[in-house]
Structure 1
C-alpha cells in the first residue's frame, strides 16, 4: 500500500499517512527531530506535541546528565537534521513497542535517495564495512582504518539510478541502522554524499544543493494484523532540480 499526502502543514511538515495508530510525516531538511538539551530551536517533537498533545507520553524520553527530560513523543527512529523524508510516529505505546521491535529485528525496510560525487562504476553493489568512532572528530564515525572503539557491523546496498556530469543519483537501502551509516559508507568508497559538510568538507557545493543531498524515500513495515504497509515521501524540489543537471 502506498500512502498519499492527506494534509499540508504551513511550516513545511507534510503528513503522508495517518490512522489511529501511526503518523507518517515528510520531514523537511534543516529540522531537528528532537532536542539534545543544548539548543532551543523548534523541533519535530515540538510540532508533534502541539498538534498531537495526547501522545506526549508515548515512546521513550531521554534523561540527560543534568536530570532534564527530553520528550520524544511517539518517535521510533530519527533522521539527521539535514536529511529530508519519511519518518514514522507511533500514536500509542502498543504501536510504539511493536514498531520498535521491528526496527531492532531489522524487519523494517528503508530506502533512501542520494546524490554522490563521482560517476559510480558499478550499477549496483553492497558496502559491507564495520563502523566505529572517528579518531579525528568526536562528531564523526568511520568505516576506515584508525576508527576508535568497538567496530559495529554495517551493511548498505545501493543501485545507481542516474549518472552524468561527474555525479551519481543512487537508491540506497541500509540493512543496518548505524549513525551516519550512508554518509560514512559512501565516503569510505570515495563517493561522498553531495554537500556533506561533515564528511566531505573540502568538496565544492554542487547541483544547487544548500543542504545534504540525502532523502528518506520510503519505508515498509508490518501492521498489527501482519499486513505490510509501504509509504513514500516524494522527492523534494531540490532533488527534482538536481536530476535535470546530471
Structure 2
C-alpha cells in the first residue's frame, strides 16, 4: 500500500498508477503516450512520480513514450547504482506484451542483430555484431488476423523490441515510427507495447511484479485477456536458447 495521499495520486493518474512502494524503491505502471523525461514544457513520468511521492527519485531503466507498463524508480542514488548494476549484469528479467496485425516470418524464436541508426529517429537491425540486440519471443493468435507477442529482451537497446518485431514483418500496431503510415496512431487508439513483468533479487529478497495493460481496446478485450490467462507464468515458458 502506498503512503502517497489519494489526492496526489488522483492528480497524476494520467501519468501512472502505483504498483508497489517500499523504503528503497517504487514500481509504477506508466500510462501509454507519456514522455519518460520532461520535454516541450510538459513534465515526464519521472517528475510526475516525484511530485506525487514528494521525494527525489532515480531512474534505472526507461520506457519509450508509446510504451505503457512497469517502471522501477529508486529512492536513493546508492540504491539506483545497485539496481543499475543488476540491469547491467542481466540479473533483472523483463517481459513485454505487444500486438501486431501482420503475420510474422516466424511464430517464435530468437531475433538477434546489430542495432544501427537509420533515418529520422529510427533504428534498424543489421547482421553486424556492433551494438548487439538479442530478443526472445513467442506469438499467439488473437482475432481478426492479429497476434499477441510475449517478449523477453536479453539486452536493453533503444527501440529494441519495436525494431525486432519490424524485422520479422510484424511492426507493432500503432507504432508511430515503425508501422506503415496507414497503420500508425490514427488507425489505433494507442501503440500496443506494454512492459508486463519484471523480476529481480535485491539484498537476498526476490521481487516479482506483473501488471496487465490498463488502456487500449485490443489490450482490454476478452480475447486478449483469455489468451494471457492461458499462457500463465511468463517466466516458465520454454524460452528459446541464446
Shorter-chain TM-score bucket reads 0.7 to 0.9
**Structural mapping, 1:158-197, within 5 Å:** 158-197=137-176
What is the Cα deviation at residue 216 of structure 1? 0.4
Q: How far apart, CA to CA, are the structure 1 residues paired with 2:176 and 2:37? A: 21
> How far off its partner does 1:43 sit?
1.4
Structure 1 equivalent of residue 92 of structure 2 = 108
The 1:128/1:182 distance shift into structure 2, 3 A limit, reads: same
In the alignment, what sits opposite 2:24? 21
Deviation at 1:242, TM superposition (A): 8.0
Return closer, same or farther for 1:144/1:5 CA change in 2, 3 Å cut-off.
farther
Moved more, 14-23 or 150-159: 150-159
Q: CA deviation at 1:53?
A: 3.6
Q: How many Å separate the matches in 2 of 1:212 and 1:105?
A: 30
CA distance in 1, matches of 2:156, 2:215: 27
C-alpha contact 2:111 2:135 (8 A) present in aligned 1: yes
Q: Which digits, 9 at most, give the CA deviation of each residue in 1:69-95, with x for residues without a partner?
A: xxxx31111101110000000012221
Give me the whole-angstrom Cα distance separating, in 2, the residues matched to 1:27 and 1:172.
Answer: 18
Return the alpha-carbon distance in structure 1 between the equivalents of residues 96 and 50 of structure 2: 27
Moved more, 103-112 or 164-173: 164-173
Distance 1:6 1:119, change over 3 A: farther
SS of the residue 1:190 aligns to: coil
Matches within 5 A, 1:1-246: 9-10=9-10, 11-12=12-13, 13-36=16-39, 39-55=40-56, 73-120=57-104, 122-134=106-118, 136-137=119-120, 139-144=121-126, 151-204=130-183, 209-224=188-203, 226-238=204-216, 239-241=219-221, 243=223
The unaligned stretches of length 5 or more in structure 1 are 56-72
Which residue is equivalent to 1:68?
none
Alignment check: 8 A CA contact 1:5 1:14 kept: no
Deviations 1:45-86 (Å, cap 9, x if unpaired)? 22133133432xxxxxxxxxxxxxxxxx31111101110000
The runs of 5 or more residues in structure 2 that have no matched partner are 228-242
How high is the TM-score relative to the length of structure 2?
Answer: 0.80
Check the 8 A contact 2:123/2:159 in 1, yes or no.
yes
Structure 1 91/244 Cα, relative in aligned 2: closer, same or farther at 3 Å? Answer: closer
Aligned CA RMSD, in angstroms, stands at 2.8
Q: CA deviation at 1:163?
A: 3.5
Contact 2:201 2:207 in 1 (8 A): yes
Residue 236 of structure 1: how far off its partner (Å) = 1.8
How many angstroms does 1:107 deviate by? 1.2
